[in-house]
Amino acid sequence: MNRRQRVCVLGSTGSIGVNTLDVIARHPERYEVVALSAMSRVDELLAQCLQWKPRFAVMPEREAAARLRERLREAGSHTEVLDGAAALVDIAAHPNVDTVMAAIVGAAGLAPAIAAARAGKRLLLANKEAIVVGGALFMHAVEEGGATLLPIDSEHSAIFQCLPEDRTTWHQRIDHIVLTASGGPFRTRDPKTLADVTPEQACAHPNWVMGRKISVDSATMMNKALEVIEARWLFNLAPDQIKVLIHPQSIIHSMVVCRDQSVLAQLGTPDMRVPIAYGLSFPERITSGASRLDLLTTPSLTFEEADAVRFPGLHLSWQALRGAEGSTTVLNAANEVAVDAFLNGRLRFDRIHAINSQCLADVQPGDCASIEALLDLDARTRAHALRLL
Ligand code: NAD
Ligand code: MG
């Protein structure tokens, strides 16, 4: 490659954002950071700006942006601070950006991710909620814009790595896929005690260190439910072509079962820098910083069926996929509200599922043809979920 890839990291202060910068730091000859963005952590974004010297820093909230601008000026930095919600969309489609890492959490990342897709960027998608909310509209934007969509979620990266580059062969080849799930921190906990779970317990994942929202989703297995929906769109599969298997060691990151019953799997130590490095370098491979998988010292690989009593939320993914268009948007919005309420001590852990399934039953999706319509549906569902709380 002659010119360095110019990268914009949306959500740069988060777990995925920090891991992305870690991989980029290993390859200064290949990547240049041109834009960073965060919601509220001014100190962290300031430190990143001083280290990376991006041309732009984006903070949607004006007050936080003003503080960052002031601090950067004091430090003699030339980074320009953009603010307002539209700034995320503008930067994702900016002509000086080649690659967008979409690592915002939640539906808030939808509009910038679609903007990157429409602008034909190399789009590294960690923000699974964007594709769950955006569905057909999201995939249409990718196609229309000629974007290169690369999955960062470890399971979807695994599936992607098991498939040939030519997407037109995927349909013919795949019988079904198996998404592996660790089972989270409560895989063996007595389901009767799930009412007492605290946010700290829910966020203590056995194999991965992640943001708080996805950590709670992993504990309820709503994360896997969102991933089932994500896989439906990324790989153009029917709902019953997507299966889930608990694999507590998180060594096999997912599998493709081909028509001839040959099973392809991708293995590795659980480290998000592997899928991130693949997204950045595809179709090449670069070093990621992940440690080597040593099968001789790896505990036995085991598998279990997901327990429907312990993890009632998992099946909501298939229910939403078979429901009216927009049902997955409803499910995601309900879950964002429920998880937030749980993290703030306003909802019991074992009630998250009740909010999600009730919203799915109560909210009628209607129009899903534009971002505005989807965000309106998202807002309607949030209001309903808040009433249910
Ligand atoms: P995180 O909470 O650690 O980071 C989120 C980032 O997004 C932060 O930089 C935050 O400032 C920013 N942000 C939050 N709300 C925002 C808003 N409304 N507008 C703009 N920016 C906002 O989360 P994370 O664990 O890095 O996860 C990010 C995304 O990647 C999620 O969708 C998650 O499901 C997905 N993901 C994460 C992992 C992981 O290992 N952490 C693995 C797979 C997928
Ligand atoms: Mg995942």
Mean pLDDT, rounded, for 222-229: 98
Contact (CB, 8 A) for 171 and 254:
no
What is residue 70's predicted lDDT score, i.e. its pLDDT? Answer: 98
**Does the bond joining 283 to the residue before it have cis omega, within 30 degrees of 0?**
yes
Q: What is the mean pLDDT of residues 195-206?
A: 93
Q: pLDDT digit string (tens) for 235-257?
A: 999 999 999 999 999 999 999 99
Q: Report the share of the chain in percent with pLDDT over 90.
A: 97
* DSSP string across 345-364: TSS-GGGHHHHHHHHHHH--
Q: Which residues contact 60 (CB under 8 A, 6 or more apart)?
A: 37, 39, 83, 84, 85, 87, 88
DSSP 225-260: HHHHHHHHHHTT--GGGEEEEE-TT--EEEEEEETT
Q: What is the pLDDT of residues 111-145, one digit of tens each?
A: 999 999 999 999 999 999 999 999 999 999 999 99
Q: Which amino acid is at 215?
A: S
Q: Are 24 and 280 in contact (CB under 8 A)?
A: yes
- The answer to whether the beta carbons of residues 335 and 347 sit under 8 Å apart is no
The answer, yes or no, to whether residue 341 has pLDDT greater than 90, is yes
What's the average model confidence in pLDDT over 30-48? 98
Annotated ligand binding at 323? The verdict is no
pLDDT at 268: 98
Q: What is the mean pLDDT of residues 251-264?
A: 98
Is 220 labeled as ligand-binding?
no
| The pLDDT of residue 168 | 95
196: burial class by Cβ within 10 Å (0-12, 13-18, 19+)? exposed
* Whether the predicted pLDDT of 1 surpasses 60: no
Which atom of ligand 1 is nearest to 104's Cα? 7
Contact (Cβ atoms closer than 8 angstroms) between residue 179 and residue 254:
yes
Q: Does ligand 1 have an atom closer than 6 angstroms to the CB of 126?
A: yes
pLDDT at position 371, please?
A: 97
Q: Is residue 301's pLDDT more than 80?
A: yes
Atom of ligand 1 nearest to the CA of 226: 34
Question: CA 234 to CA 237: how far, in whole Å?
Answer: 8
Please say whether the beta carbons of 347 and 355 come within 8 A. Answer: yes
Say what the pLDDT of residue 208 is.
Answer: 80
CA dihedral of residues 89, 3, 16, 285 (deg, nearest 10): 140
Mean pLDDT of all residues in 224-229: 98
pLDDT at 299: 86
pLDDT in tens, 4-25: 999 999 999 999 999 999 999 9
Predicted confidence at residue 6, as pLDDT, reads: 98
The question of ipTM being above 0.95 is answered as yes
Q: What sections of the chain are H helices per DSSP?
A: 15-25, 42-52, 62-74, 85-92, 110-118, 128-145, 154-162, 170-173, 199-202, 212-220, 222-234, 273-281, 316-322, 327-343, 352-362, 371-388
Q: Is the CB of 218 under 6 A from ligand 1?
A: no
pLDDT at 205: 84
Is 304 within any annotated ligand binding site? no
Q: 110 CB less than 6 Å from ligand 1? A: no
Average the pLDDT over 282-302 and give the result: 96
Q: How far apart are the C-alpha atoms of 278 and 251, rounded to whole Å? A: 17
- Give Cβ neighbours of residue 175 (< 8 Å, ≥ 6 apart): 241, 257, 258, 259, 261
Residue 65 CA to ligand 2 centre (angstroms): 31
Q: Does the pLDDT value for residue 200 go beyond 70?
A: yes
**Whole-model pTM over 0.95:** yes
Distance 9 CA to ligand 1 centre (A): 11
Residue 234 in contact with ligand 1 by CB distance below 6 A: no
Looking at every residue in the chain, the average pLDDT score rounds to 97
pLDDT of 171: 97
Q: What is the mean pLDDT of residues 226-237?
A: 98
pLDDT of residue 85: 85
Mutate to test the pocket of ligand 1, among 10, 15, 182 (most ligand atoms within 8 A of CB): 15
pLDDT score for 209? 84
Give burial (CB, 10 Å; 0-12/13-18/19+) of 180. buried
User: Is the Cβ–Cβ distance between 209 and 15 less than 8 Å?
Assistant: yes
